[in-house]
Chains A and B, each alone.
Chain A
Amino acid sequence: MTSQIAPALMPLRVRGGVWWLLGAFLVAVMLVSLSTGNYQVPVNHVVGILVSSWWPVEVTWTPVEARVVELIRLPRVLIAALVGASLALAGAALQGALRNPLVGPQIVGVSSGAALGGVLALFLALGTAAVIGSAFVFGALAMLIAYSMARVSGNSSPLTLVLAGIVVSAFCSALVSLLTYLANPEDSLPTIVYWLMGSFATTSFDKVWVVGGVLLLAGLPLVLMRFRINVLSLGDEEAQSLGIPVERTRWAVLALCTALVAASVSVSGVVDWVGLVIPHFARLLLGPDHRKVLPASMLMGAAYMVIIDTLARSLTSAEIPLGVLTAIVGAPIFAWLLRQSSRRGALHD
């Protein structure tokens, strides 16, 4: 039994019906997001503006609308989608590779490490490129430290890896607190605090290329490894007895996830919960097979992040930090999901 939700959603017994549905949902969410905000742009104008870049269509919109959609909202919506897809994909892959449905990208130390890197660059008042680079390097470094801590005589068990990740995260968080404490309240402190809570407010197409590029280079191999992740999720000994080089495969998954998470954190700050919650949604909809869960997590993560960002910038006149919203929305959803999945046996302990 896949789930109770699936039959409800699926008069679409068509082959691949779920995928069309998820894809269409993502597109719809992005269009609505492009039209929503302090300056409303009707959806048909949005479609026209987007299409007009490639196809000559009759202009029914104002130049202001075109500028709002193309220059302000489009990069933001794109980056929200890319970050959501990256985080959800990394979460789903990590949950499989560490055979623990309760881990998220923050568990292996990457998020906190990247946060530390970003805060350090902001503290030193370096430029945007430095923030991205430093977040990336520190995220990777944190994962490496966690991994080497967990590695005893050439092997790392998933449990020690999770514990090592928690240790590294705690250490990085302490350093982040220290830097925040030392930061100049007039100038770097607010920047640091807002960045830490996560925001897509300062997006540009440059950042879209960064996250998009990483998603392509790290996300694609990860999605292709989906069957290996299935085997890995059976446990080390079983996977090894099935002929899989366990340690190397897990290392590859970790490295690719680190790239995804570090890239996301570097452009948007820390956005927790997405990587934890979305894969559960995907599993509830499609069952536990990572061959489906990984791509579905990407599509659902993208849509979720766009929705969250749209709410963040349009609920109130001031922007709500993303990290706050993902947690406020994510925590209750996660609680509900846990109940649902344990009730339906999609998850068992």
Chain B
Amino acid sequence: MIEVTDLGYRHHARSPWVFKHHSLSLKKGEVGAIIGPNGRGKTTLLKALLGLIKPQQGSVTFAGLPAYVPQGTDTSFPYRVRDLVVMGRARTLGLFASPSREDYRLADEAMARVGIEALANRRLTELSGGQRQLVLIARALASQCDILVLDEPTSALDYHNQNRVLAVLEQARNDGVTVLFTTHSPQHALAIADSVLLMFGPDEYRFGPCDEVLTDQQLARLYNIDIRTLPFEHNGQAHRAVVPVFGSMA
């Protein structure tokens, strides 16, 4: 469960608010998506609600242990995938402790959950963007988290890998993990999210169920371009396709 109330953050006391009075709530096992244009503060919002930066306003309640999946990892030391995933266990390890056999078992389990067992002994630098993303998700899962917070987990991935990541997130949700992710793709929100938060401006946002919030009007307003959501059917199920009309201005 995640409960965010009236969250506000600015970099300095005198700088303008990046966002303020933002609230959202997700129940256990729900998926939430955060959508907003570049530079609107999606990543900042995630960091503030995780406490990686200190919000000046509002409160955040997590029922359970959160884990963060950053957009990418940029270490000067190309660790092996398994050694990187086991770092998800760091929270439980004392200052002088190294991961035990049990910690490695949990890491292996997490790698199996996202389907990257075969990469265990590869180095991070040898992996593709999609594989790296899965490694970071596995690391978060290895912490046995109840809440998964991901920063643009599908950016820079091809359709196949987007599909893989989304499937992994759905799987996590089915296991009872609450998932919150930022994305530039409303389509991804439609695919797996229960609720969505649109960041229009510093003190203007909309949070609610996907079907209500992700409308043509709202999307057009968000991106300042005409966007249509077109209904279609696949395997007897109703879907909507998000189609931006490039060249148009809303």
Contact = CB atoms under 8 A, between A and B. Distances in A.
Contact of A345 (B78, B83, B95): B78
B52 A240 contact: yes
B87 A241 contact: no
A241 B78 contact: no
Given A237-B52, A345-B126, A244 B90 contact: yes
A238 B70 contact: yes
A287 B47 CA distance: 32
Contacts of B76: 99-101, 233, 347-349
Contacts of A260: none
B68 interface: yes
Contacts of B70: 237-238, 241
Contacts of A226: 98
Contacts of A225: 95-96
B137 interface: no
Interface residues of B, number: 31
Contacts of A64: none
B77 A233 contact: yes
Given A242-B90, A242-B91, A345-B125, A234 B73 contact: yes
Contacts, number: 87
A17 interface: no
A348 B78 contact: yes
A225 to B, nearest CB: 6
A303 to B, nearest CB: 23
A269 B50 CA distance: 47
* Interface size range of chain A in the complex: 35 or more
A252 B94 CA distance: 14
Contacts of B126: 345
Nearest to A248: B95
Contacts of A233: 75-77
Contacts of B113: none
B27 to A, nearest CB: 23
B97 interface: yes
A207 interface: no
B130 to A, nearest CB: 19
Given A237-B70, A243-B90, A283-B77, 8 more contacts: A96-B77, A226-B98, A230-B87, A237-B47, A243-B91, A244-B91, A291-B98, A347-B78
Interface of B: 47, 50, 52, 67-68, 70, 73-80, 83, 87-88, 90-93, 95-99, 123, 125-126, 139, 143
